[in-house]
Amino acid sequence: MAGCLIGQPAFSESFNNPVIPGYAPDPSIVRVGDDYYLTNSTFEYFPGLPIYHSRDLVNWELIGHALHRESQIDLDTADSSGGVHAPTIRYHDGTFYVVVTNIVHNKPVNLIVTAEDPRGPWSEPYILDDAPGIDPSLLFDDDGRVWYTGNWHPPDPEFEGQAEIWLQELDLETMQLTGDKHYLWRGCCQGAHAEGPHLYKKDGYYYLMLAEGGTGFEHAVAIAISESPTGPYLNNPRNPILTHRHLSYDHPITGVGHADLTDTPDGRWFAVTLGWRLIDSAHGILGRETFLAPVTWETEPYEWKAERYTFPVVAPATGRIELTNELPMEDTRQALDTRFIDEFDDGDLGGEWNMRRTHDEQFHSLDANRGFLRLNAGPGFIGPQSRYSFLGIRQRDFQYMAETRMQFDTASDDEAGLVLMQNDRSVVAFTVRDGVLRLRRLLNGQWSDLSSATVTGQTIDLQVCADYLSAEFLYRLPGGDWKSLVAGVDLTSLSPAMIDGFNYTGVYIGLYATGNGEAGAYADFDYLRYEPTAANRNDWYFR
């Protein structure tokens, strides 16, 4: 079976955060009847914008991608952490809409794709003219009008990084913005990286929610209220409504923000938000993940006010994202199982697989050698804005085992194997070339050798056993036992804290082949298996 999750899940009376572990930032959610759909940023990875489905808010199934054809998106030369930023998913009158920013040559391009079925197919993109900034969102108002919100950097900033939220009407007939632009709000922190806006309408009022403070320790969520979509917006005096900026750097969940709200059929509310799980208070190797929190609405108690407003309160019991929460729905259990195996017996790759960037020509095949994934060793190799033969899955656990079997001429001057990849500047490569199995590290443009061994033959098994920021790399030749190439390998080089530039993604575990500048032959992979190895999923929280 391609890309299936295996094994028996463990059940609990409560649910644990994150609800989508591993690289799953900037969550946006929409409810359609009893069904919930969620998407995340994917930056330079393709297919882009995963579509997850749930009926209980804690168990999420990947059902497709909104960007699933190369014709939909230009990622050919996307920078690491460039590409597709901060989508919003909404539903109106039988159609799903995803609006998103694509960073092309350091400039934002805002676009919309639509589908009648969230599983796809999704439309070709509608490119929006004169839509500056990033992080677009849509509100389908009850009077038939559609409002687009985004951010931009005003021409008169008071400090570097100041941003502002703006609004304009969207014409669904032309799929273009129309009418005047309205500049709404710079947030409760004077616009310090104001972004991620979402506009809601509840009980006759408009609520503008945004993220600010950047996506690190100072991240926060704020909200304002207005009687009109075009403003003026009044600041909630209790802002921010969600942040961990006041907690210790040692707190196991940090950087929470970029939230989206949804209600349930019985009138309750919840927020999805991104957050970091940091190892040793610094190393977020999994990237930003998706967390869930309950929301209540409270009206200001002040008798002396002429008009008392109602605002959302996120995580009302504690005011922060918690590890363990009460299950949102009765008669449900959280059944998170991150185990994965693909034996490449089906005709298509499973949805968990991603490549880096879009490619003019297909570099992989499931037909050339049935039961194997073939990667062509093309001229491309790991490097900035480069396209190369790589397919990977998200690392979703701090402790795991990953294993593959590769058929490859070990004496070839091509190179192939198993890699751990944060981005083009941060890789640990476990590969074979010229009869030598090498473990090498790439960090900020510099390769370094960690260990090596001479190997022969046409088949080799490769395995990595990772324990937070340390790993052992093992190999096995046909008829032999597992041998440790090297243990205790430091993986902090995969941490965003160690890498130059923007680092918005998480680690991928992937298969790789290259001719290192020349078109080479190929490598065939029999399977990829991934299993978490922690005795308790929550060990990271108490570590």
Q: Which residues are catalytic?
A: 26, 195
Instruction: Please list the residues that pair with 64 across neighbouring strands.
Output: 51
Q: Output the CA–CA distances (angstroms, integers) from residue 535 to 298, 337, 397, in the order listed.
A: 41, 13, 12
Q: Is 506 helix (H, G, I), strand (E, B) or coil?
A: coil
Tell me the C-alpha distance between 292 and 336, whole Å. 14
Closest CA to 44 of 82, 71, 73: 82
DSSP per-residue codes, 331-348: T--------EEE-S-SSS
Asked if residue 136 lies in contact with residue 26, where contact means CB atoms within 8 angstroms, the answer is no
CA 53, CA 62: separation in Å to the nearest integer?
6
Cα gap 424→431, rounded to integer Å: 16
Q: Is 541 helix (H, G, I), strand (E, B) or coil?
A: helix
Q: Which two tokens stand for residue 534?
A: 């922690």
Q: Is-contact 527 342, C-beta < 8 A?
A: yes
Q: Give CA–CA dist 69/188, Å, rounded.
A: 40
Extract the tokens encoding 17.
Answer: 């955060």
Q: What is the 3-state secondary structure of 367-401? A: CCCCCCEEEECCCCCCCCCCCCEEEEEECCCCEEE
Q: Which residues contact 482 (CB under 8 A, 6 or more apart)?
A: 461, 463, 474, 475, 476
List, in order, residues 6 or more apart from 107 with CB less than 8 Å away.
none
Please tell me the distance from the alpha carbon of residue 23 to that of residue 406, in angstroms, as a whole number.
Answer: 26
Ranges of beta strands (E only) in 455-521 are: 459-467, 470-476, 483-490, 508-514
Check residue 78 and report its DSSP letter.
P
Distance of CA 413 to the CA centre of its chain: 35
Q: For residue 237, what are the contacts with CB-CB under 8 A and spacing of at least 6? A: none
- Name the amino acid, one letter, at 47: P
